[in-house]
Structure 1
């Protein structure tokens, strides 16, 4: 279903169990709500939670911001490298306001907020902007955004900045698969056939590479967030793969040390994806965290 959130149409999937504590799931860069693994969602439901997923702006079935143009990623990355302000079409604070608007539209006063990668950054922004709305915070494979933290490994950066070999569906799916292989968890097996099917279905649901670039510049521009993390009051869990080639483990460590009382859970063999083995490891930490902070 689509709701009006922060003045924009945002696509939402809501398990809808009224009276249950809510968990708001925030997905990462260029990823749609369908990227949340079904077993992860089902496990939270089994634990008695109402689970809300949504498409961030510029992906999936939510509003796209094509009228803002496509950023020049090379130029903006150079500005970031030399300490200049990155010119983003919108901010992660705007995207956090969208997420809070989803809660408003569903009449959810408070929620546990769980974010992955860029979604973890947005989740942090939610906890900063609206502490009264956040029962707990879980930041997975994410970062504080502080300058000086390590970035992607060279082969990952190359895959991230590459373009598809053509405009056909197969060319785009092949391109996405190359990136997903580059960031995959070395310690957890990946079923390539199933993953390819999921990538193909996501492509047919929505495809907007310009939207991903707009989100990417919003991430790069959000380097002031690190100094604000000390304001977060919600009980916080930080989970990060020790073999993450896209957002290195140091980024998760830095996030945890900046948030008062945050618990850091390192996961050996975990990269920057959500295969079944990683989902099992996440649930080992996320489920008790949510139970302990339930209202």
Structure 2
């Protein structure tokens, strides 16, 4: 793992896999998740297929820069948004998705990569979309996975999934790891396994337990608004992947993304939730390799 400055205020922790001479793929992770969520074995398998794979921690997560000077009270923020007090909500959050997209592009610049294939999952898909919209000349292809368009009527979570996402999680290690099993609510119905969820939770906790960043990341997602009009004009080759078992971001989010982006390919995967079960890695990797070939 290495750390590099991508702007005067942000440093990113990142890791690479494979031959730098191969086509580069930038993997962008989602809300509150460290780059570890792109499993090392998944990255190596993708690299073995002739891709130079880069994974990184978003700002406010993992070992990248944290915005401790801008604390966000999640309850106050949600109350402001719910009541329509947009100025108050805007004042609470120090950055938007476009800033997070700039981080990823800055990482590519720091690595001497002018153009790359960009693959984003969940909030990472929103960041990846924003990269393609803000700097299409730098994005060879876009893969938006288990994500949505920023339109509130698409990709809505089920009440049960939303309750788990925003519910309190124990701060002690044992409690935190045990609570990870609740994420089965949005996992693959066929392959979901609480033990599999607790193992990466323990690894993430030990590497960097930092719940304070999630409020700011959530604010960045909500306040960045809809990308629908911009996506209609996007001319970057786009693959949209969504699991049919996803209850955290309903498959309508992926369907809508593919509907808006001209020429986008939509891949709906049975037995996949808001996760990437190891059993489905071959299909996911085949899809990404074909799209980035």
TM over 0.5: yes
How has the CA–CA distance of structure 1 residues 195 and 75 changed in structure 2, closer, same or farther, with 3 Å as cutoff? closer
What residue in structure 2 maps to residue 60 of structure 1? Answer: 62
**1:204 aligns to 2:209 (yes or no):** no
* 1:221 CA displacement: 1.2
How has the CA–CA distance of structure 1 residues 213 and 95 changed in structure 2, closer, same or farther, with 3 Å as cutoff? same
Give runs of ≥4 in structure 1 deviating > 4 Å: 80-86
> For 1:137, what is the secondary structure of its paired residue?
strand
Contact 2:17-2:43 at 8 Å conserved across structures: no
Contact 1:239-1:267 at 8 Å conserved across structures: yes
**1:177 aligns to 2:186 (yes or no):** no
* 1:278 CA displacement: 3.0
Q: Distance in 1 between matches of 2:153 and 2:120?
A: 22
What residue in structure 2 maps to residue 3 of structure 1? Answer: 4
The aligned runs of 1:143-182 (5 Å cut-off) are: 143-165=148-170, 167-178=171-182, 180-182=183-185
What residue in structure 2 maps to residue 118 of structure 1? Answer: 123
Q: Distance in 1 between matches of 2:134 and 2:143?
A: 16
How has the CA–CA distance of structure 1 residues 282 and 197 changed in structure 2, closer, same or farther, with 3 Å as cutoff? same
Comparing 252-261 with 11-20, which one deviates more in the overlay? 11-20
> For 2:239, what is the secondary structure of its paired residue?
strand
Contact 1:73-1:217 at 8 Å conserved across structures: no
What residue in structure 2 maps to residue 35 of structure 1? Answer: 37
Spell out, residue by residue over 1:103-153, the C-alpha distance to the aligned partner (whole angstroms, 9 max, x if none).
Answer: 010000110000000000000000011111111000000001113225211
> For 1:67, what is the secondary structure of its paired residue?
coil
Q: Distance in 2 between matches of 1:83 and 1:241?
A: 34
How has the CA–CA distance of structure 1 residues 195 and 254 changed in structure 2, closer, same or farther, with 3 Å as cutoff? same
2:102 to 75, 97, 101: 97
Structure 1 unpaired stretches of 5+: none
Comparing 79-88 with 116-125, which one deviates more in the overlay? 79-88
Structure 2 unpaired stretches of 5+: none
How has the CA–CA distance of structure 1 residues 73 and 255 changed in structure 2, closer, same or farther, with 3 Å as cutoff? farther
What residue in structure 2 maps to residue 186 of structure 1? Answer: 189
* 1:176 CA displacement: 2.7
> For 2:292, what is the secondary structure of its paired residue?
helix
**1:141 aligns to 2:137 (yes or no):** no
Spell out, residue by residue over 1:68-126, the C-alpha distance to the aligned partner (whole angstroms, 9 max, x if none).
Answer: 11243454366257594642321000000000000010000110000000000000000
Spell out, residue by residue over 1:194-222, the C-alpha distance to the aligned partner (whole angstroms, 9 max, x if none).
Answer: 43222111101001111012101111112
The TM-score with structure 2 as length reference comes to 0.92
